[in-house]
Structure 1
Amino acid sequence: MLNPVPFFHDFVENIHQVFFVYDPATNQVTFVNAAYERLLGGNRARVNEELPQLIDRLHPDDRPYLANCWRRWQRGRLEEKEIEFRLLAPDGTEQWLQLKPHHQQTGTEQHLLGGFLDVITGQKEYMANVDKFNAKKNATLEILSHDLAGPFIMLQQLAEYMGEQVGSLRNENLNEMIRIMQTTCKESVDLIRDFVDQEFLDSANVELKLERVDMVERMQQMMESYKQSESVVAKNFTLIAPQEPVYVNLDVNKFMQVLNNLVSNALKFTPDGGHITLTIAQEPSTVRFTVADDGIGIPQAQQAGLFDRFTKARRPGLRGEKTTGLGMSIIKTIVGLHRGRIWFESEEGKGSTFYIDLPLNMASQSNGQQA
């Protein structure tokens, strides 16, 4: 039987990722492959001497997160399959790294840590642009649906009025043209709303892809699109957020669609000139998001079943915007998948406020430790 050791040694030395083994008992890296020199610019023979310098280059925002991961990793309780973090170059540029960690118990009290480390700066920049485009696209769709639906609803109402006025003429051709106008307007409004609703439904049916995200930055990007449209949709938008980043472990595309859908509902039920405010605030172990409006509010009789699937609380917007009754149910499902909770306060004639609490670190929460 052939000895597989030379094969594995050759494989490890020639892969493009950094592969390493660390012994916590001696605080020493016992092995690192040649990729360490190619990707991180170090000298593998001096890796233990260079390790403090690498630690000094960790991005300040990532240090508390990595310290938490390190504590759980040493105990064999690390749930994350991938850990992403940043190193700072002397010129201040960021280098994104992805670690795939492994914990090996070698005895009753002995264990080794190791894994693969790869540079993913290009991938992160690409995905950041994709996420920014998606956020802008979703906000634009909501703005367009709100802006386009209004004229169609007005034409539909005008056609209904014309139909009442010309009914006495008994002109079948004229009545048929008015009926076509009414039907076309209604179908156009439904088509616009169906398209936006389907975007949300499609997103909800895909498995969560969790990553650590600065939600202040993402909400700022989303609100830019809405603020640019204030004169178009006749609403005032405000974002209340801390100056420093707020990092949360979540599926950023799905959760941004949750916020976007809540803003969409606020648009439907807030009269022209009204206000819609988004807030993000960090608590000791959670992050709270709120979407508030000063619109018509939710009738008391409809509040109990608001999050039910095909809820009876569904109702058309102030401009007749269509609703499937599925939106709030899907929102609650996505929040639940993030181990969060959602609730609301509303008073008829005074507006509504929706609250979402998410854990700062889902993996830490699941095994009883705070981030």
Structure 2
Amino acid sequence: MKNQAFNPIAPLTGNDSYMIFSFDRVTLRFGYMNPLFQQFFGYSPSQSGFGAFVNELHEEDRALLESLLRFGDDKSIEGLVLRRIKFGQISYLKCNFYPIPDTSQVFALAQDISDILEANNVVLKHNAQKNAILTILSHDVVGALSTASTLIDFAYGKASSQEMPKVQEILSVVQQICKSNIQMIRSFLQKEFLTSLSVPVVSVRNDILDSLRKLVEQYKVMKTQLGVDVIFYSNQDQIFLQVDREKLIQVVNNLISNALKFTPKGGSISVSAVETDRAVELKIQDTGVGIPDHMKHDIFSKFSAARREGLHGEKPNGIGLWVIKTMVEWLGAEISFQSKEGCGTTFVVSFLKEGRPR
């Protein structure tokens, strides 16, 4: 019997997991393509050349592949991910190229890994979402416990001087802080929230002014201890928003806490809610030290380099304003700021009304 030349493709032709093909790297003609390859690309050996395959690749990947295929030492290429663009859609192909020694023929395997990459991206996005949640929880709970601790110390002082009505008022605020944080933790840790890629913002149409006034009142109780006056203003008797009220108050509370770090005693922080025909704007304006120009571009970044110690020794963690911006975006709003060193800072959270361009 006449010996037949070994065909390296033959043992794999029945494999339905890989697109299998061969081509001549000199003439750029296909030699073989299995049914899966023909189905995916819509090619037939008699109609198309390898150039058609190359032309469907992203231009960067095309240049890379063409440079790699110019090898003269017959080295294999394995695990090369190429982006194929067809009708505006991107597919990701994991490819192996095996030059057949002493010929210009190349045997190749390709696998569409688009679904795998998408699944990996979903996992990464999910993990990033959970990391954001845990970061926000740790930041806000630590801040709340610190405030509660300060209030309790204040209450001890009042108790020793028999000012029991003041003690009761302070303990009431501590209780509200604890209840608010318990509710926040429960909201964030709901199974639906941790397993979903979307944040469960529970939007209800309600008057936000009542909640804002109550929040400011909590800080008024601490005026003697803080040495800073916190005031509230609105141009309306009622302002209705379709919004998650708990998360909105958390944002404003964080902005006030941030302002307190950089406002010296004797200063003030104003919280205002202003409704116009275009938007509802919440402004937190302080008479503090302001933000230096060289820090402004980076203040919303996670672990920002624009971190600095507060006026009263508060240690920076670099995530406070990132937390705030993240939550503002969850609420469908925008945040901006104006600041001049030595002249204070104003943060503005804007809820654009429906029909108004963002």
If the TM-score is normalised by the length of the shorter chain, which range does it land in? 0.3 to 0.5
RCO higher in structure (CA 8 A, sep ≥6):
1
TM-score scaled to structure 2, two decimals? 0.46
Is the helix fraction higher in 1 or 2? 1
Greater C-alpha radius of gyration:
2
